[in-house]
Amino acid sequence: METARSFRGGVMASIAVLLAFLAAWEWGPGMLGIPPYIIPTASSVFNEFMRAFQTEQLVFHTGITALETLAGFIIGSLLGMTIGYILGISVRAEFILSPYILALQIAPKVAFAPLFVLWFGFTVYPKILVAVLIVFFPIMVNVLGAIRTVDPDLINLARTFSADRWQIFRLIEFHDALPPLFSGLRIAATLSVIGVVVGEMVGGSVGLGYLLIFGEGSGNTALVFVSIFMLTVVGIVAYGAVVLLERRVLHYLPKSVYSAV
């Protein structure tokens, strides 16, 4: 009973904060003398949202960005898990490859977007590749750290029972790596949106990043706000999907361990 009352109180407080924010957004700029082309009111952004929905193919652009985000997230995560596992089980491989991986991580990802456009043209590939680069490193680091912290006594015990490499991976290493992996996936879910929108802004003719640049170029600040809002929605959906999957996969852990946002 107390938990339900606390939950309702939290929901009401969150709604109150939202209403206060919308009120400040609607009337604050006018009271402070800020022109609409700098900060448009909430109502004008909503009107622009409806206009973009009808005339600017907002749903189409959002769908393109969402699909590119999904592709970049999946490919980057698979690469990060694979490389992280290889480096985790082989000190020699980490010694050889880690300087190059670190250099790739240090290099600004935005700088790769124009290069990818030169290589692949104005297609979906530059956007996906930028997302892959951004997603790869946090997944790789989390998986590498998880594999390195697996209890060696468990592995030795499994070997005494004639467990092969696949059985050790499936029964011990994979199981222990899941919680850190999902922590990395949460981060990667939001970073993938950033990678895609950077690619769309540099060399895109569709997607929310393109729509954002189009609004900026035409002086339509409200359209820029609409694009940012829809990008936020895509990021929230991606993050929420990872959280739901995490709760199903890690159901055996205490709730506070895997469900904290």
What digits encode the pLDDT tens for the residues 45-75?
A: 888 889 888 888 889 999 999 999 999 999 9
CA pair distance 27, 90, nearest whole angstrom = 60
- Calculate what percentage of the chain has a pLDDT beyond 90: 26
In this structure, the answer to whether residues 21 and 113 fall within a common structural domain is no
Residue-wise pLDDT tens digits, 139-195 = 998 898 888 888 777 777 777 877 777 878 877 878 888 888 898 899 999 999 998
Whether pLDDT at 229 is above 50: yes
The reply to whether 39 falls in a domain is no
In this structure, the answer to whether residues 123 and 54 fall within a common structural domain is yes
In this structure, the answer to whether residues 98 and 132 fall within a common structural domain is yes
CA pair distance 228, 88, nearest whole angstrom = 38
Residue-wise pLDDT tens digits, 101-126 = 888 778 787 788 888 888 888 888 88
Average pLDDT estimate for 3-27: 79
CA pair distance 192, 69, nearest whole angstrom = 6
Whether pLDDT at 1 is above 50: yes
Amino acid at 224: V
The reply to whether 18 falls in a domain is yes
Residue-wise pLDDT tens digits, 170-180 = 778 788 888 88
Whether pLDDT at 214 is above 80: yes
In this structure, the answer to whether residues 66 and 164 fall within a common structural domain is yes
In this structure, the answer to whether residues 124 and 182 fall within a common structural domain is yes
**Helix, strand, coil share of the chain (percent; to 5):** 85, 0, 15
pLDDT attached to residue 90: 83
In this structure, the answer to whether residues 95 and 192 fall within a common structural domain is yes
In this structure, the answer to whether residues 30 and 89 fall within a common structural domain is no
In this structure, the answer to whether residues 26 and 140 fall within a common structural domain is no
Among 14, 39, 37, CA closest to 27: 39
Q: What is the pTM of this model?
A: 0.84
The reply to whether 42 falls in a domain is no
In this structure, the answer to whether residues 30 and 108 fall within a common structural domain is no
In this structure, the answer to whether residues 9 and 81 fall within a common structural domain is no
Residue recorded with tokens 């652009």: 61
- Calculate what percentage of the chain has a pLDDT beyond 70: 93
The reply to whether 44 falls in a domain is no
The reply to whether 43 falls in a domain is no
In this structure, the answer to whether residues 106 and 2 fall within a common structural domain is no
pLDDT attached to residue 192: 92
The reply to whether 40 falls in a domain is no
In this structure, the answer to whether residues 28 and 119 fall within a common structural domain is no
Helices (H), 174-220: 174-203, 208-217
pLDDT attached to residue 260: 47
CA pair distance 9, 7, nearest whole angstrom = 5
pLDDT attached to residue 252: 66
Domain membership of residue 145 as a residue range: 49-258
Residue-wise pLDDT tens digits, 124-139 = 888 999 999 999 988 9
The reply to whether 210 falls in a domain is yes
pLDDT attached to residue 62: 92
Q: What's the domain count of the chain?
A: 2
Whether pLDDT at 242 is above 80: yes
Q: Go through 74-106 and write b for each residue having 16 or more CB atoms within 10 A of its CB, e for each that does not.
A: ebbbebbbebbbbbbbeeeebeeeeeebeeeee
Residue recorded with tokens 């690619």: 199
Amino acid at 141: V
Average pLDDT estimate for 35-44: 86
Whether pLDDT at 14 is above 90: no
The reply to whether 119 falls in a domain is yes
Amino acid at 17: V
